[in-house]
Structure 1
Amino acid sequence: MFKETESSRPVELFGDVENLLEWNKKKLKKYRDETRWHNQFRCMVYDVIDETPYRILFDARMGAPNAPVKQLVSMMIIKELFRWSDSQLFEQFEFNVLVRRAIGIDTLTEDIPVPSTYYLFRKRIYEHGKETGEELLEETFSQITEAQVREFKVDGRRIRMDSKLLGSNIGWYSRYELVHKSFEMFYRGLTKSDKRFLQTRYRTEISRLLGEEAEKVVYRHNRDEVNERLVRLGELLYMVIRHYKGKKEESFRVLKRVFENQYEVNEEEKIILRPKEKIPPDSVQSPHDPDCTYRGKSGKKVKGYHANVTETCGEDLHLITDIRIEAASCGEARFYKEAVEGSERVTGQRVEHVHADGAYYSESNSRYSEERDLDFVVTGIKGSEPRYLIHETHEGYVAVDRESGSVYELHKAETYQDSEEARYYIRTDSGRKYFSSLAIYTALQRQKLISRPERELQIRNNVEATIGHFAYGLLNNKTPYRRKQKQQMWAYCRAMAVNIKRIAGYVRPKKPFEEQKAALCAQKVQNTVPSTPCFFIFSSIGRHLANFYGFFQSNPSIYPKTPVFIQL
Structure 2
Amino acid sequence: MFKQHNEHEQQTLFSPVKDLQPCVKKKLQNHWSTHFYEHVFTQIDETKFERLYHDGYSRPNKPVNELVSLEIIKHLLGLSDDQLEDAYLFNFCVRNALGKETLGDNICTKTFTNFRNRLMEHEEETGEDLLHEVFEDHRNHLQEEFDIDGSTQRMDSTFIEANIKHLSRIDLIAKVVHNFVDDPFDEIVRELPAGIDEFASTENLELSYELEPDEVDSTMETLIEHTAWLVERFESDPKYAGLESFDHLQQVLDEQCYRIAELEEAEPSGDEKTEESPGDSSPGWEPIRSFSTSGDTEQREQRDEDTVNTGEDETKQDRVGLKEPDKVGSGSMQNPHDVEATYRRKKGTSSCGYKANVAETCGGDNPFRLITTVRVDTNNTDDGDMLAKDIPTLPTETGLTDLLVDGGYTHKEVEACCSDQGITQHFTGLTGTRPPDEKLSLADAEWDGHRMVACPAGHEPFEQRYKEESGRISGRMNSDFCEGCPHKEECFVQEQQRFYSYGFYERKLELAH
Q: Which bracket does the TM-score occupy, shorter chain normalised?
A: 0.7 to 0.9
1:253 aligns with 247
2:419 aligns with 370
Identical residues among aligned pairs (%): 28
2:385 aligns with 334
State the Cα distance separating 1:63 from its structure 2 match: 3.6
1:446 aligns with 2:511: yes
Q: Cα distance 1:286–1:401, how it changes in 2: closer, same or farther (>3 A)?
A: farther
Check whether the contact 1:425–1:433 (CA below 8 A) recurs between aligned residues. Answer: no
Q: Cα distance 1:130–1:218, how it changes in 2: closer, same or farther (>3 A)?
A: same
CA deviations on 1:313-353 (whole Å, 9 max, x unpaired) are: 222132111100000111211111223334346xx343211
State the Cα distance separating 1:306 from its structure 2 match: 0.3
1:167 aligns with 2:218: no
1:50 aligns with 45
Matches within 5 A, 1:129-168: 129-168=123-162
1:503 aligns with none
Q: 2:223 aligns with which of 211, 226, 233?
A: 233
1:17 aligns with 2:16: yes
Q: State the SS of the aligned residue for 1:369.
A: helix
Q: Cα distance 1:351–1:29, how it changes in 2: closer, same or farther (>3 A)?
A: closer
Matches within 5 A, 1:151-550: 151-189=145-183, 191-192=185-186, 195=188, 200=191, 202-211=192-201, 213-245=203-235, 247-269=241-263, 270-314=319-363, 315-316=365-366, 317-344=368-395, 348-385=397-434, 389-390=441-442, 393=447, 421-423=470-472, 428=494, 440-448=505-513
CA deviations on 1:373-426 (whole Å, 9 max, x unpaired) are: 321111122101357844565696679999xxx9998876999xxxx5354667
Check whether the contact 2:447–2:453 (CA below 8 A) recurs between aligned residues. Answer: no
Q: 1:27 aligns with which of 24, 27, 38?
A: 24
Unaligned runs of 5+ in 1: 449-568
State the Cα distance separating 1:302 from its structure 2 match: 0.9
Check whether the contact 2:495–2:501 (CA below 8 A) recurs between aligned residues. Answer: no
Check whether the contact 1:389–1:400 (CA below 8 A) recurs between aligned residues. Answer: no
Aligned-partner residue type, residue 184 of structure 1: H
* Mapped partners of 1:395, 1:330: distance in 2: 32
Q: 2:59 aligns with which of 60, 64, 69?
A: 64
State the Cα distance separating 1:96 from its structure 2 match: 2.3
**Structure possessing the higher relative contact order (Cα contacts under 8 Å, 6 or more residues apart):** 1
1:513 aligns with none
Aligned-partner residue type, residue 447 of structure 1: A
2:299 aligns with none
* Mapped partners of 2:500, 2:214: distance in 1: 50
Aligned-partner residue type, residue 384 of structure 1: T
Q: Cα distance 1:204–1:349, how it changes in 2: closer, same or farther (>3 A)?
A: same
Aligned-partner residue type, residue 336 of structure 1: L
* Mapped partners of 1:222, 1:62: distance in 2: 65
CA deviations on 1:127-148 (whole Å, 9 max, x unpaired) are: 3223433211011111122111
Matches within 5 A, 1:1-16: 1-7=1-7, 11-14=11-14, 16=15
State the Cα distance separating 1:238 from its structure 2 match: 2.0
Aligned-partner residue type, residue 443 of structure 1: K
2:82 aligns with 87
Q: State the SS of the aligned residue for 2:123.
A: helix
State the Cα distance separating 1:8 from its structure 2 match: 5.1
Q: Cα distance 1:99–1:352, how it changes in 2: closer, same or farther (>3 A)?
A: same
CA deviations on 1:54-107 (whole Å, 9 max, x unpaired) are: 222222215421111111111111111122233332222222222211102111
Check whether the contact 1:18–1:28 (CA below 8 A) recurs between aligned residues. Answer: yes
Check whether the contact 2:159–2:379 (CA below 8 A) recurs between aligned residues. Answer: yes
Q: Cα distance 1:18–1:216, how it changes in 2: closer, same or farther (>3 A)?
A: closer
State the Cα distance separating 1:254 from its structure 2 match: 2.6
Q: 2:102 aligns with which of 98, 107, 119?
A: 107
* Mapped partners of 1:433, 1:364: distance in 2: 32
2:278 aligns with none
Check whether the contact 2:5–2:65 (CA below 8 A) recurs between aligned residues. Answer: yes
State the Cα distance separating 1:258 from its structure 2 match: 1.4
State the Cα distance separating 1:249 from its structure 2 match: 3.7
1:37 aligns with 2:27: no
Check whether the contact 1:389–1:443 (CA below 8 A) recurs between aligned residues. Answer: no
Q: State the SS of the aligned residue for 1:268.
A: helix
Check whether the contact 1:235–1:271 (CA below 8 A) recurs between aligned residues. Answer: yes
Aligned-partner residue type, residue 189 of structure 1: D
1:477 aligns with none
Normalised TM-score (structure 2): 0.74
* Mapped partners of 1:394, 1:117: distance in 2: 63
* Mapped partners of 1:424, 1:61: distance in 2: 68
Which ranges of 4 or more aligned residues in structure 1 deviate by more than 4 Å?
7-14, 386-389, 391-402, 406-415, 422-436
State the Cα distance separating 1:272 from its structure 2 match: 1.0
Aligned-partner residue type, residue 362 of structure 2: C
* Mapped partners of 2:402, 2:506: distance in 1: 21
Normalised TM-score (structure 1): 0.68
CA deviations on 1:520-548 (whole Å, 9 max, x unpaired) are: xxxxxxxxxxxxxxxxxxxxxxxxxxxxx
1:498 aligns with none
Check whether the contact 2:178–2:200 (CA below 8 A) recurs between aligned residues. Answer: yes
Aligned-partner residue type, residue 61 of structure 2: N
Check whether the contact 1:184–1:210 (CA below 8 A) recurs between aligned residues. Answer: yes
Check whether the contact 2:162–2:354 (CA below 8 A) recurs between aligned residues. Answer: yes
Q: State the SS of the aligned residue for 1:205.
A: coil
2:73 aligns with 78
Unaligned runs of 5+ in 2: 264-318, 477-493
* Mapped partners of 1:187, 1:400: distance in 2: 73
